[in-house]
Each structure stands twice: as C-alpha cells, then as structure tokens.
Chain A
C-alpha cells in the first residue's frame, strides 16, 4: 500500500519531543540562589535538561544567564541549591564535590565553549594540542591516539585539518571557536555548554558555526545548553527556551511557543524588539 503524504501518520517533529520529555532529565538544577554582595545574581532558579535536547537561555546582560552557566560548569558555587547530572558514578548534589572531583567530572562529562576563545584555549599551543589536552587530562598517554582523536574531533567541528597544528592566535575568530568546540566534544561529553558561542563573529561566519553546531547536534544527539542574547541564534538552535531577567526565570517553554506566543511582558518585549 502506498502511503500518500495525506494518509501518512502524523510525522513526529524532527526531535522526538514526547520521547525526550519522557526520558529522565540529564541535568536538573533546583532552587539555585546566588548573591554577589548586595546584587542578587540568581534567585530560586531551577532548570531541567533532557537527553539530546538543546536548551536555550536568553536574557539581557546582567540577567544571570552566564552565572547560571558557570554553575553548570561547576566553576562557581551557589549560596544554596541542588545540581545533579545523570551520568555514571555521580550521585547527590554536585556542589558538594571537592575541587578535585569537580575538575575530573568537568573534564570528562562537561564540554564548554566560551564567547572569548582566550578563556577556553591555550593560545601558544597548537590547535590539535588544545584538543589533546582534554584527552591528556582524562589519562590518555599514547601519542598516536592523541593525534588521531584530536584529528577526529577537529574534523567533526569542520576545522580545516591542514591547519590542525597552527596556533589559535594565528586563526580567525570562527576557527578559534571551532577549536574550542573540538576540544569540548573530544571526550564526547554528556553535556555541552555554549556561552554566546557566536557573539563577536560576523554574520556569515556565525551562520557557518551554527551550521556545524546543528549538524553535531543532529549526528551525535549531544545535549546542549546554549546561552545567548541573540534571539536569532536561540531560534535556530534551541528546542526549549528559558527566559531570564534580573536573576529569575520569567518564562520557560518550547521554542516555538515562546517565539510565537510569549506570555510574560518581558518576553513579549524581547520577541518584538527583534529587528
């Protein structure tokens, strides 16, 4: 029997949301509070990320989105709050871990791409060496394996392999972001954090980097948390969106829903302010 488009059962969306939502969350943060002196950076923030999805976090400067991402990368501890990741060998609140356990967990299970490549890369080392560093932290001591896995990771992030031994200082901004991305995905992390990964790149390069990110997400089903103030980027990438303002989550929902039918006045203003 030939199925005509009309007769075909309703196509599930490209990313199978019911399946995603029925799976146990890979990341759950609850009741995060953080103050810097008198400034409230985060107030009772909770976030949940399901396996294989992209969570976008939008908000104006100072809304706490980067602070939240730093918490997710265990670079900072909140005044109170609970953070769990569904990864093997991890139980309980990750904020209770000591420095060493945090570092090992971050190296093995969390990848991060910073807006500023100087934060994420060793500028005087080669690009392949930057990727190899991640593998070295995880204990790899075979040169040939380091070399081939660095090449694979750089290839996956669509970095031109003939330049794999160039130093990041010699590379363009878009290339530097690709090296950061290769470094982040080298150990196939459970969670990939992206802190404004395309801010500061010109629009065409931005589109290429986003393209790479999307393809990676599709091929490898990497769980991502994407922080950006650029609604266009969020709209392209995210499955679900969290809108933050003044350290609080003001609205949360599916990307389409947030963009088509924003409920909170701030979200409405944000969506309409988009040029």
Chain B
C-alpha cells in the first residue's frame, strides 16, 4: 500500500519564484491566450505578492512566472533602474528565484517596466513586461465594464475617436499624452500602460514579446513579436510623438531621445535622458570607456 507521502512532493518552505505552481500554471495559460489573441484582455486570478496592489503586482507576477535561474532581470521605474520601487522589485526577484539582476538593457532577458520602454532596441530573446494600472481603454467612455466588453467584442471603438475629436476641437491638437490607445493586429484596442506616446511606435512590428499585466484589475494582454500596433488617429491628422527630438541631455550631452524635464530654481528647466542606464552608458563612452550601446529605436529623434 502506498503512503500518501510518496505521492506528494516533499515539503518546501517556499515554492520556486514565490508563487505556487498552480498560480504560475494559471498565469501561463492566461499568457498563452493573450499571445494567441493580441491585445485582448484575458482575466487571471492575480495572487497576493508582498507588495501593495498598484505598485506593479501584475508585472511582478508575470516576471515571477517567466523567470528561471538563468534569467537576467532588469526592472525599470519611470526609466530609472535605481529608484526605490525598481530596486526592491529587482532584489525580491533575485532573492526568490536566484536570477541575476542587471541595469543593462542589452544583457537582460526579462525587462519589467513601469512607464517606459528602453531606448535600445529589444531582441527576439527578450521579454518586456509592462505594469498596467488600468487595462481598459474604454473606461473613460464607458464606465460599465460589461458594456465595455461587448464593445470590444463588436470592435465598437468609435467613441475613442470621439475623445480625440473633442481634444482637437477644444485644444487644437490631441492632448492624450500617456496611455495612448492603440489598435493591436487590426482588431483589439489596448491601452499600452502609461508609457509616453514616444514609446508607442516601439511596439509596432517589434522583435520582442510584450506582456502587459494589471494586478489590481486582474487582466493580462500581450503584443506578440511582429504584430501591428497602430495608435488611434484621424486619417488627416496623423499620430505624433512628443517634440523631444531637439532636446539635449544636460548630463550626457545626448540628443534625440525622450527626456525628463527637471525644473530649475530660476524658472527654466533642464533635460536629462529618461532611460537612466542608457544615459550612463553614453557618459561612459564619452569618457573613453569601451561601452557597447545597442541599436536604438530612434535615431536623430526620428523613428527608424
């Protein structure tokens, strides 16, 4: 007669990667569905992680599910690798999985990010995980989520263009800065998380897989490699990214990338590269170090 203990696994203090196996299996299934239907929001259970909802729990769960001891993990918070949130998420992932942390975009295999996509181009073997606060692009026009789901089913997105129409009528131009809605694969409109407009063209026909996960709202969606991502725009008023092409980073002297504005006491402002490690590499190279900087999405302020 077999003892029950022989059929079960030996007791462990903690499961690999913090999440229990069934949670990871459920999340993998949701991710596969999300990849199969690009841009479509797939519900998942969203487990507790030792972090408050709204601080990147969705992205963290995806990272913990994908990670293995050979992974190299980069965590970005508003473009920075050294902010408190980025550091504690990266340290947590290192601690529970044995994976190595990095600041270098080129080196990372999993990049979890809030608000930015790195300036260096991502490759086929890299996965971008975006933390999403509000996964529903229709929420501003349809507060009833059941109706919003029907609208997604019907591809009824006219109201989103109406939002753009109102902005042009009131302000003369499209005012939507972050979370600019985009049509994925010609079918589902998604919100790309609060990345600036500057980063949205980077998702179009990209080589890497992007997973977007909202832990509080319990929704996951994906942009698989080589998938069309088209920002919503009028046929006669094209989509434009921010006017950052001519700004110069006051620390590295680099120009043609997305900058953070730093207000000065005199009332003027200086700019610095929003992608912090990209800036560090640029400075090191300028100082004569042999630093390898990958190809960038933008060159001279224009999308390549």
State whether A125 and B166 are in contact (beta carbons under 8 Å apart), knowing that A133-B158, A136-B158, A136-B159 are contacts in the complex: yes
- Asked if A129 and B166 sit within 8 Å, CB to CB, the answer is yes
| Contact indicator A103/B165 (Cβ below 8 Å) | no
Of A45-53, A81-89, A140-148, A191-199, the one touching chain B: A140-148
Q: In this assembly, does A126 line the interface, its C-beta being within 8 Å of a C-beta of chain B?
A: yes
The residues of B that contact A132 with a CB separation of less than 8 Å are 162, 165
Which one, B57-65, B108-116, B230-238, B265-273, is touching chain A?
A: B230-238
B8 close to chain A: CB less than 8 A = no
Contact of A144 among B162, B169, B236 (CB under 8 A): B236
A142 touches B162 (CB 8 A): no
Q: Are A143 and B234 in contact (CB under 8 A)?
A: yes
A128 to B168: give the CA distance in the assembly, Å. Answer: 12
How far does the alpha carbon of A171 sit from the alpha carbon of B177 in the complex, in Å? 30
Q: Quick one: which of A126, A141, A142, A144 contacts B166, CB cutoff 8 A? A: A126
B156 interface residue per 8 A CB criterion: yes
Nearest CB on A from B82, distance (A): 42
Docked complex: B216-256 residues within 8 A CB-CB of A: 234-237
Structural contact, A133 and B159, CB atoms closer than 8 A:
yes
Please measure, in the bound complex, the distance between the C-alpha atom of A165 and the C-alpha atom of B166, giving whole angstroms.
Answer: 9
Does A137 lie at the interface of the complex (its beta carbon under 8 Å from any beta carbon of B)? yes
Residues in A with CB closer than 8 Å to B150 are 99
For residue A141, which residues in chain B have a CB less than 8 angstroms away from its CB? 161, 234-235
Residues of A with C-beta under 8 A to B234: 141-143, 146
Instruction: List the B residue with the shortest CB-CB distance to A167.
Output: B166
Q: Known contacts A99-B150, A142-B236, A144-B236; is A128 also within 8 Å of B161 by CB? A: no
| Minimum Cβ distance to chain B for residue A143 (Å) | 4
CB distance from A265 to the nearest CB of B (A): 46
How many angstroms from the CA of A231 to the CA of B169 in the assembled complex? 41
User: B157 — nearest CB in chain A belongs to which residue?
Assistant: A136
* Binary flags per residue of A87-123, CB closer than 8 Å to B gives 1, else 0: 0000000000001100100000000000000000010
Name which residue of chain B comes closest to A100, CB basis: B154
Range class of the A interface residue count: 10 to 19
Interchain CB contact under 8 A, B165 and A146: yes
Q: Is the CB of A143 within 8 A of B162?
A: no
Closest residue of chain B to A138, judged by CB? Answer: B158
Residues on B with C-beta less than 8 A from A126 are: 166, 169-170
Q: How far is the CB of B150 from chain A (nearest CB, A)?
A: 7
Question: Across the interface, which residues of A come within 8 angstroms of B236, CB to CB?
Answer: 142-144
Contact A133 B154 (CB under 8 A): no
Q: Which of B11-37 contact A (CB under 8 A)?
A: none
Contact between B162 and A129, CB atoms less than 8 A apart: yes
> In the bound complex, what is the Cα–Cα distance between A165 and B169 (angstroms)?
7
Q: How far is the CA of A142 from the CA of B158 in the complex (A)?
A: 12
Question: Please, how many angstroms separate the alpha-carbon atoms of A142 and B168 in the complex?
Answer: 12
Is B165's CB under 8 angstroms from A143's CB?
yes
Q: Could you show 18 A-B contacts with beta carbons less than 8 Å apart?
A: A99-B150, A99-B154, A100-B153, A100-B154, A128-B169, A129-B165, A129-B166, A133-B162, A136-B165, A141-B234, A142-B234, A142-B236, A143-B165, A143-B235, A143-B237, A146-B165, A146-B234, A165-B170
Interface residues of B (CB under 8 A from A): 150, 153-154, 156, 158-159, 161-162, 165-166, 168-170, 234-237
